Amino acid sequence: MGPKKSDRGPCSPDAPRDVKVLWISPRSEIHSGHAVLLRCNFSSSRPTDVHFFWKKNGIFLKEGRELSFGSISPEDAGSYSCVVRNSIGQSTSEAWVLSVLYAPRRLRVSISPKDSVMEGKKAVLTCESDANPPISRYTWFDWNNQNLHHDHQTLRLDPVKVQHSGAYWCQGDNRLGVDRSPPSTLTVYYSPQTISRRVALGLGLCLVILFLAFLGVKFQGSWKRIQSQQGPQENSSGQSFFVRNNKIRRAPLPEGPQSLGCYNPVMEDSISYATLRFPVGETDTPRIGDAGTPEVHRPSLNRDNTVTYSVVQKRQVGDYENVIPDVPEDDGIHYSELVHLGLGERPLRQEGVEYVTLKH
């Protein structure tokens, strides 16, 4: 018997063989934006009539022998394979990984556990990015655009303080470029203990202010009372009780002529003063009164309205009405003041007792 012949001869039908992906261009690293061309190749197929299909990550992508990208992007990166099919069967190539290099992009700052943290806790800020190759250096900035001199991907604040509240952003760079994130705001609120201390401090401050205000009002009241007590002594502006006694007076004392009296109860010192002020009149002619005492008319207009002082004499109790001394009379000299009673004609003196209230 001769050797057994093969069931399939050299021209027998067969599925495509040695299918693989060829990287046509570019022949160097593929960067984002480059034009890329891939081709599906095989060694043999019987019959030679074949069809080509492309898959990305195992999912059908398109039909055709070549796969081209006019401007490749990072989203085009992945695992590619091609399928060659004829009437007998089909063959699939090994996966070919397409890697696209690009500068950092889509940077953002994430805050954990959340963007509102109580003081004394821990806050971790992470600079998330998308880059190929990965970012080699990070830089952190605060809300004042001040460099925090921290070159790691995460920024830890432990314990976090209220002064840490504000916006933060990060910057990342690799050998292809640099990018920065938009700002993210961290809010740090006071703990209950701090709030209690601040409330107590505020209440204490309010109490101090109220106490000082009370002292100020009390001091002002005391000052007004002192001023009102000193007023009669300084300018004789206190109320005085003036009594004119229209009765026959006793014989004049040896010390001097008798005159009308005016008792000022405010002035209790051993010595008080009396001043007679007369409004401006037309004449200055003396006349004799009913009691036999000399009276003086208003001075003429051409004379100076100066102060005229009464005769100074010892106070006699009999010269006053409705005035009873509380203490025995002393030898002090007493004076009284008669204020300006206004302009115009003074009425003639009438019989009876007249009372005048004099203001301080």
Q: Among the three residues 69, 98, 127, which one is the final residue of a domain in this structure?
A: 98
Contact 62, 40 (CB under 8 A): no
The residues, any chain, with a CB within 8 Å of residue 170's CB and separated by 6 or more, are 107, 109, 125, 127, 138, 139, 140, 141, 155, 180, 181
Give which of 325, 336, 313 is closest to 259, Cα–Cα: 313
Contact, 289 vs 270, CB < 8 A? no
Res 134: pLDDT: 95
User: How many C-beta atoms lie closer than 10 Å to residue 138's C-beta?
Assistant: 20
Contact 164, 119 (CB under 8 A): no
- Asked if residue 319 and residue 258 are part of one domain, the reply reads yes
Shared domain for 156 and 257, answered yes or no, is: no
- What is the domain-level CATH number for residue 138? 2.60.40.10
Does a structural domain hold residue 223? Answer: no
Looking at the 3D structure of the chain, how many domains does it have?
A: 3
Domain boundary among the residues 80, 98, 116 is at 98
Q: Does 245 fall in a domain?
A: yes
What is the pLDDT, as a whole number, of residue 194? 81
For the range 345-354, what are the long-range contacts, defined as Cβ-Cβ under 8 Å and sequence gap of 24 or more? Answer: 345/281, 346/279, 346/281, 346/298, 349/244, 349/246, 349/289, 349/290, 349/295, 351/246, 351/290, 352/246, 353/243, 353/244, 353/245, 353/246, 353/321, 354/242, 354/243, 354/244
Question: What's the pLDDT score for residue 44?
Answer: 92
Does residue 203 lie in a domain region?
no
CA 47-51-53 angle, to 5 degrees, is: 145
Instruction: Classify residue 199: in a domain, yes or no.
Output: no
Query: Residue 227 domain-assigned?
Result: no
Residue 149 Ramachandran class (φ > 0 left, ψ -120 to 50 alpha, else beta) = left
State residue 292's pLDDT score: 44
Rounded alpha-carbon distances, angstroms, from residue 141 to 124, 127, 172: 15, 11, 12
Q: Is the peptide bond before 10 cis (omega within 30 degrees of 0)?
A: no
117 in the same domain as 93: no
Q: Put residue 78 in one of left, alpha, beta given phi > 0 → left and psi -120 to 50 → alpha.
A: left
pLDDT at residue 359, rounded to an integer: 43
Q: Within a domain: residue 309?
A: yes
Please check whether residue 9 lies inside any domain of the structure. Answer: no
In this structure, are 78 and 128 located in the same domain? no
Question: Within this chain, do residues 245 and 298 fall inside the same structural domain, yes or no?
Answer: yes
Q: Are residues 248 and 348 in the same domain?
A: yes
- Supply the pLDDT for residue 53: 96
Query: What pLDDT was estimated at residue 233?
Result: 54
Rounded distance, CA 152 to CA 149, Å?
9
Say what the pLDDT of residue 221 is: 81
Q: How many residues does the chain have?
A: 360
**51 and 131 together in one domain:** no
In terms of DSSP H, where are the helices of the chain? 192-235
Considering the domain architecture, whether residues 331 and 263 belong to the same structural domain is answered as yes
Give the SS3 label for residue 272: coil
Residues 264 and 329 in one domain: yes
Domain boundary among 72, 98, 124: 98
Residues 73 and 163 placed together within one structural domain of the fold: no
- Residue 11: per-residue pLDDT: 62
| CB 18, CB 92: distance < 8 Å | no
Instruction: Assess whether 89 and 178 both reside in one domain.
Output: no
Supply the pLDDT for residue 197. Answer: 79
Q: Does residue 214 lie within any of the structural domains? A: no
Same domain, 78 and 145: no
Q: What is the mean pLDDT of each run of 10 residues along the chain (360 residues)?
A: 45 87 92 95 91 95 95 96 94 95 96 92 95 96 94 94 95 96 95 83 88 86 80 50 44 47 45 46 44 43 44 48 50 45 50 45
Q: How far apart are the first and last CA of the chain?
A: 162
Residue 45 belongs to domain spanning: 14-98
pLDDT for the residue 153: 95
pTM value is 0.52
